[in-house]
Amino acid sequence: MTSEVVENEFEFYSKAEKYWKDVPATVDGMLGGYGHISSIDINSSRKFLQRFLRDGPNRTGTSRALDCGAGIGRITKWLLLPLFKTVDMVDVTENFLTKAKSYLGEESRRVRNYFCCGLQDFSPEPNSYDVIWIQWVIGHLTDNHLSDFLKRCRAGLRPNGIVVIKDNMAQEGVIMDDVDSSVCRDLDVVRKIIRRAGLHLLAEERQENFPDEIYHVYTFAMR
């Protein structure tokens, strides 16, 4: 539980905002010095996502996606824009969203909205998104805020839409990182929060071929 490791909620959020303001607006900055894993990450995410975009009665649409904790748009550029007609981006750091416009190049014209907002305060437009992608950012939300945000994401889905979380998983319990003011939860804690938000888990997958020294990374699809 984050309540056991987050002593001051206001400080937890403001310290994280301050941390990201000082991070370079580059792929390496977004990935904490692990920019070289970006293509491995994107390729695995594409395979995971495409199983829901294939033909069938419950096929997820490809009209509009939302990139949460989007940074400069690494996931928007390489994963979402190639698969969806339009994408919205949300991130707490204004400088990253400004940089995204040049980083995305010509394709930036298909990004409809750049929302500068923390996810604890963000509400996706109801019934609007085929896919809501949430990667390497849930650690910046308390348990209650994450559960509430996922409920709002559920309301933001179009028919057959999915919410995807891709993030680091701790071996056991909840671990605080004082450097970037984030938490890392274990699988059971994350699954409980997903259930608490009223979402049903459709698929779960561990990321392969990442460096041994980093946390295990898991991807979840739910609706």
Q: Tell me if 173 is assigned to a ligand binding site.
A: no
Kindly report the CATH number assigned to the domain that includes residue 148.
Answer: 3.40.50.150
Q: Tell me if 60 is assigned to a ligand binding site.
A: no
Euclidean distance between CA atoms 51 and 205, whole angstroms: 12
C-beta of residue 166 within 8 angstroms of C-beta of residue 42: no
Q: Average pLDDT in the 189-203 region?
A: 98
Q: Tell me if 33 is assigned to a ligand binding site.
A: no
Number of domains the chain contains: 1
Residue 21 pLDDT exceeds 90: yes
pTM: 0.97
**Domain assignment of residue 95, given as a range:** 2-222
Q: Tell me if 120 is assigned to a ligand binding site.
A: yes
Q: Tell me if 177 is assigned to a ligand binding site.
A: no
Q: Tell me if 74 is assigned to a ligand binding site.
A: yes
Q: What is the pLDDT of residues 65-95, one digit of tens each?
A: 999 999 999 999 999 999 999 999 999 999 9
Query: Residue 57: pLDDT band by 50, 70, 90 thresholds?
Result: confident
User: What's the confidence (pLDDT) of residue 64?
Assistant: 98
Q: Tell me if 207 is assigned to a ligand binding site.
A: no
pLDDT over 70 for what percent of the chain?
A: 100
Q: Average pLDDT in the 150-171 region?
A: 98
Q: Tell me if 93 is assigned to a ligand binding site.
A: yes
Q: Could you give the C-alpha distances from 30 to 110, 141, 156, 220, in angstroms and in order?
A: 22, 18, 26, 21
User: What's the confidence (pLDDT) of residue 3?
Assistant: 78
The two tokens of residue 72 are 């400069």
The two tokens of residue 46 are 């594409």
Q: Which helix H or strand E contains 187, and what residues bound it?
A: helix 187-196
Give the mean pLDDT of the chain. 97
Find how far residue 187's CA is from the centre of its chain. Answer: 16
User: What's the confidence (pLDDT) of residue 22?
Assistant: 96
Q: What is the pLDDT of residues 168-185, one digit of tens each?
A: 999 999 999 999 999 999
User: What's the confidence (pLDDT) of residue 186?
Assistant: 97
User: What's the confidence (pLDDT) of residue 1?
Assistant: 78
Count the neighbouring beta carbons within 10 Å of the beta carbon of residue 184: 20
User: What's the confidence (pLDDT) of residue 205?
Assistant: 98
User: What's the confidence (pLDDT) of residue 54?
Assistant: 87
Q: Average pLDDT in the 194-210 region?
A: 98
Query: Residue 2: pLDDT band by 50, 70, 90 thresholds?
Result: confident
